Amino acid sequence: MPRRARPEGVTSGRSRKSEVSAGPGLRSLGREARRRRLGCRVQALDSYPVVNLINEPLVIFVCATTGQGDPPDNMKNFWRFIFRKNLPSTSLCQMDFAVLGLGDSSYAKFNFVAKKLYRRLLQLGGTALLPVCLGDDQHELGPDAAIDPWLHTLWEKVLGLHPMPIGLDVIPPGVPLPSKFALQFFQEAPEMCSGEQRGARTEPQSPPSELQPFLARMVTNRRVTGPSHFQDVRLIEFDITGSGINFAAGDVVLILPQNAASHVQQFCQALGLDPDQCFMLQPREPDVSCPERLPQPCSVRHLVSQYLDIASVPRRSFFELLACLSPHELERDKLLELSSPAGQEELSQYCSRPRRTALEVLCDFPHTAAAIPPDYLLDLIPPIRPRAFSIASSLLARPSRLQILMAVVQYQTRLKEPRRGLCSSWLASLDPEQGPVQVPLWVRPGGLTFPQAPDTPVIMVGPGTGVAPFRAAVQERVAQGRTENFLFFGCRQRDQDFYWEAEWKELEERGCLSLVTAFSRDQERKVYVQHRLRELGPLVWELLDHRGAYFYLAGNAKYMPADVSEALTSIFREEGGLSGPEAAAYLARLQRTLRYQTETWA
């Protein structure tokens, strides 16, 4: 039964720039609201008229954090509005709210957006139903470790304010809710309804976006690590002629990957689907719209290969819905156990830790998989999210070209089959020398911005593939006649993963670049970029304190950012004569004024 309470949400697609996707939290909240007969809308905040907030009695915000404590792209307009200084302190006095943050504690700005939003809503007069929830992807049980008890309290509070209508109860977890969409199948020639790349384009219209990406021709796909190196790293170049795409150093390119053809076939076999069959998608509720990325009509092959993320590691909600749909007693009992609060450790052991995919889970529960109604496919499997890569080239140096430096993700768990990154494996499999290859992509501003003043030095620390945005910055700055470029690059071995060695040396000879290297495995004692920073402490202090240099850091978020920060504070103490607290305050001031910027990923 529709109710006046209308939870709203904000989501962000996961990328290397984002702590974690908020999508699973939104789906779970929306489903649980429906079970409690609450008429709700679940939508991105930038698609919601923010001025209507003053009329909402109950709002639940779900938000991730990107970049350096920044809101996700689909929250930025809302973010600017909600922090306007002229908003009255009583603006939201009629609104009850709750904030759920989905984050990753390996990031320095862990759940920063959720914390800041919570404080701002209180400032505007909103009433918090309970403290902000800080979900952590690094917890051994994932974000659910914090979310489960928080949700239990939340629904108690909500039902206290908005009790169930007389004669109605909460729909129990074992009863499936109606699917959001109906798939109306029909017989048609596959070429009439496959819709391959219908949303993409090769000619200029409006700026490319997720809903209308540009089909860029892959020009080269070359391995740049040595044959004996443990990691396959690719330099990939795209031709963006006629796209209207423009970008600057620090920007990122987003790429929509596809599932492997073998996985598409395996998925269709497990669910008894004909990949060449066509369907029309019809929403079951008036306020639900069809995904704009899906063409109408659409083939099953297009849906599975280009939309459903069957290679993702499923969340608990996946098992909850499977249990509701399963006709097989033994499989249903196991699915109920895995989706119960008491079964979260077993779910972690079975799925999260070994990184078992949705497709592999379905193959482990064959009777359940074969009985899944096609109408529930979009409820069960999330959409493929675009992957973001730092752009590694400048239009000033390579007009109409865009390059990325990509490490192919592959690692072993206790499962027999190696785990592979969806996007990196797909891109690595494409060979432009065997025929034309087109990749859907678009560009957005990144988290790094470089100074406009021509005489401002920049210090860039980019170990491994973290050097990618700095290659774009060096190319751009050199083309503009800016030669005060100091690059600290680190890798394992000079002869295996020293990216762009010849290019850096040529720029050094021209006086356009000062390069400092750290090859950690080329000597008995491991040497990293933070060691080189300390060795050149007088130069770093001179550049930062006397010449107003900007400092940039990009790379893995696990240990390196903390080690570099420690090296900097040590330099501030030793070269600047600052005390420990003064050195920490100096670093904080650099961060606050954007003279210290980081782009890291877990």
Q: How many CB atoms lie within 10 A of CB 169?
A: 10
- Indicate whether 432 pLDDT > 90: yes
The token duo for 116 is: 């800041």
Q: How many CB atoms lie within 10 A of CB 528?
A: 18
CA dihedral for 46, 52, 54, 57, sign (positive or negative): negative
Question: Quick one: pLDDT band at residue 123, thresholds 50, 70, 90?
Answer: very high
- Indicate whether 12 pLDDT > 50: no
In DSSP terms, 93 is beta-bridged to none
Helix axes 23-35, 144-161, angle to 10 degrees: 30
- Indicate whether 342 pLDDT > 90: no
Q: How far is CA 114 from its chain centroid?
A: 16
- Indicate whether 191 pLDDT > 70: no
- Indicate whether 20 pLDDT > 60: no
What pLDDT shows up at residue 32? 76
Is 470 within 8 Å of 459 (Cβ atoms)?
no
In DSSP terms, 97 is beta-bridged to 59, 128
In DSSP terms, 419 is beta-bridged to 411
| SS3 label, residue 61 | strand
CA gyration radius, the chain: 25
Is 331 within 8 Å of 368 (Cβ atoms)?
yes
Distance CA 210, CA 160 (A): 41
Distance CA 26, CA 42 (A): 7
Average pLDDT over residues 331-360: 93
DSSP secondary structure code for residue 208 in this structure: P
What pLDDT shows up at residue 13? 27
The token duo for 232 is: 């396959």
Q: Which amino acid is at 12?
A: S
| CB proximity list for 256: less than 8 A, separation 6 or greater | 210, 213, 306, 384, 386, 440, 441
List, for residues 507-524, the tens digit of each pLDDT value. Answer: 999 999 999 999 999 998
Distance CA 178, CA 416 (A): 37
Domains and CATH numbers, the chain: 23-161 (3.40.50.360), 182-255+382-446 (2.40.30.10), 260-380 (1.20.990.10), 458-601 (3.40.50.80)
| CB proximity list for 7: less than 8 A, separation 6 or greater | 29, 30, 33, 38, 40, 41, 42, 58, 59, 60
CA dihedral for 345, 418, 196, 207, sign (positive or negative): positive
Is 63 within 8 Å of 29 (Cβ atoms)?
no
List, for residues 204-221, the tens digit of each pLDDT value. Answer: 567 899 889 999 999 999
Q: Whats the size of the chain, residue-wise? A: 602
With tokens 């973001």, the residue in question is: 388
Distance CA 592, CA 477 (A): 24
Is 96 within 8 Å of 8 (Cβ atoms)?
no
The rounded percent of the chain whose pLDDT value lies above 90 is 69
Is 202 within 8 Å of 242 (Cβ atoms)?
yes
Question: Quick one: pLDDT band at residue 174, thresholds 50, 70, 90?
Answer: confident
Angle subtended at Cα 356 by Cα 352 and Cα 358, rounded to the nearest 5 degrees: 110
List, for residues 449-492, the tens digit of each pLDDT value. Answer: 999 998 999 999 999 999 999 999 999 999 999 999 999 999 99
- Indicate whether 330 pLDDT > 70: yes
pTM equals 0.86
| CB proximity list for 537: less than 8 A, separation 6 or greater | 570, 571, 574, 575
What pLDDT shows up at residue 496? 96
The token duo for 258 is: 């596809």
Q: Which amino acid is at 197?
A: Q
The token duo for 478 is: 């050199």
Could you tell me whether strands 485-491 and 458-461 are parallel, antiparallel, or unpaired per DSSP bridges? parallel
Distances (CA, A) of 426 to 239, 306, 514: 18, 12, 36
Distance CA 190, CA 300 (A): 10
Q: Which amino acid is at 341?
A: P
Distance CA 323, CA 376 (A): 13
